[in-house]
Amino acid sequence: MKISDPHAVRLLERRLGGRRHALAEELEEIKDQLETLSFRDITGLVMRTSPVRGAKLLRLLPPERSAAVFDALNPAHQADIITAMGDERVVDYFGSIGAEDRVALLDHLPAEIADRLIRELDEGDQEVTNVVLGYAKGTVGRRMSPKVPVVTPSMTVDEVVATLRADVDRLETIYTIPVVDEDRRVCGVLRLRALFGAEGTDTVADVMEPPFVFRAGDDLEDSARWLLSSARLAAPVVDDDNRLLGILTYDEAHDVVEGANSEDSARMGGSEALRQPYLSTPVIRLVRSRIVWLLVLAVSAILTVKVLDVFEETLHKAVVLSLFIPLLTGTGGNTGNQAATTVTRALALNDVRKSDALKVMWRELRVGMTLGAVLGVLGFGIATAVFGLPIGTVMGATLFLICTISATVGGMMPIIAKAVGADPAVFSNPFISTFCDATGLIIYFFIAKAVLGI
């Protein structure tokens, strides 16, 4: 095994960043340097460079290693490299990855390229790929692997081992093996540990466990999160009649959850998630991932400006009120975002369901009141000491109400989004901040007018 050499990686990165068209002798030197790097280093190089340079790197690698590096990339990056390469090697790449990975890649490719790649597959690979393509995006069926062994309860352990050995290169996983009856209905699962701990003459029925299965139409993200939390390495996927269709593996579930978490984090920050490593993402794609959200937030911020315009006369009569506006809007936005982030995560982990809306509202109301009481007392004391009792009263009351309302609204927004079929992350930080800014200012000025008599 080659040891990672950071100096060699940086040197090769600089060479790749040099002239656009390398001479033949330079390409040979780069090829020799690639042979000294580990698989991890080469994969990192491809991830950190543009698709065009990544394609050149893959061409310089031996075919088997090149295909392995390609398989390690995420689908969006794979699609960009395929578009950049435009040669016959991409057909080999496409055929070397699993059916579920092919489908994920096809979702990122132009239709004409996708059609050509499918036509180039052999008949068996075309069949299993089309099976996965037949399921809707966002369902378990779309990410399952159809390549599973056929094992029945009456088979002996020795027969199962022989079956696995004969098909080991074709199968997606052998760590969790579905057991089916004569109608291909799943009746159990066989773990590799149990298989090797049994006698060769034992039957599968003696060592198999009760199955947990996913339906092909189940929500993919929810199912993937459950699989990861259950510590299972895989779970069978069945149709409505409990007939075996494929298997969802741990690594596929991990990729799904990682992608969903990245998407939620990006949307909470007011942008769209990148589908590939940052340094290999074209600048125009970075712009597109942010510009829509900036426009939406800019338009929604007009509401805050309108509130200030309505209470302009109040500010003229008590200019000191303007000093506390950043504090109040920041406190409201942060309180709402904290609640929204907590509830969004709870929804993702299935700790909270849509039916728990009233429980969440009551809990966040109490949390907000407690936070508001603490901050309100502090605000009252400091503002009273510096600006007098009336201003201190305004600050204390406003902080209490803002925290209470912001926490309650922030906790409810993700559940409302889930109920209407929207992404809870979309309703989180950016929109909650704007909502809390506007409502916080309205509360602030009404309290100030009542207390100060202006």
CA dist., res. 201 & res. 199, Å (int): 5
Please state the rounded mean pLDDT for residues 233-259: 89
CA dist., res. 299 & res. 434, Å (int): 10
Could you tell me the two tokens for 30?
Answer: 């780069």
CA dist., res. 316 & res. 49, Å (int): 56
Q: Which of 103, 119, 134 is the last residue of a domain?
A: 134
Q: Are residues 290 and 246 in the same domain?
A: no
Could you tell me the two tokens for 82?
Answer: 């395929």
Q: Are residues 261 and 324 in the same domain?
A: no
Residue 420 falls within a domain, yes or no? yes
pLDDT (0 to 100) of residue 88: 60
Lowest pLDDT segment from 5-14, 135-144, 269-278: 5-14
Q: Are residues 291 and 427 in the same domain?
A: yes
* Pairwise pLDDT comparison (107 vs 245), residue with the higher score: 245
Q: Are residues 360 and 446 in the same domain?
A: yes
pLDDT (0 to 100) of residue 1: 38
Residue 391 falls within a domain, yes or no? yes
pLDDT (0 to 100) of residue 45: 82
Please state the rounded mean pLDDT for residues 406-412: 91
Please state the rounded mean pLDDT for residues 434-442: 84
- Inter-axis angle of helices 357-387 and 325-348, nearest 10: 160
290: CATH: 1.10.357.20
Residue 139 falls within a domain, yes or no? no
167: CATH: 3.10.580.10
Residue 277 falls within a domain, yes or no? no
The pLDDT > 70 percentage for the chain reads 86
Q: Are residues 332 and 442 in the same domain?
A: yes
36: CATH: 1.25.60.10
Q: Are residues 397 and 431 in the same domain?
A: yes
Q: Which of 269, 296, 317 is the last residue of a domain?
A: 269
* Pairwise pLDDT comparison (141 vs 299), residue with the higher score: 141
Q: Are residues 85 and 162 in the same domain?
A: no
Lowest pLDDT segment from 26-30, 52-56, 125-129, 379-383: 26-30
Q: Which of 248, 269, 290 is the last residue of a domain?
A: 269
Lowest pLDDT segment from 54-58, 139-143, 367-371, 424-428: 424-428
Amino acid at 274: L
Q: Are residues 223 and 294 in the same domain?
A: no
Q: How many domains does the chain have?
A: 3
Q: Are residues 327 and 448 in the same domain?
A: yes
Q: How much is the pTM?
A: 0.61
Domain that includes residue 126, residue range: 6-134
Q: Are residues 415 and 447 in the same domain?
A: yes
pLDDT (0 to 100) of residue 275: 66
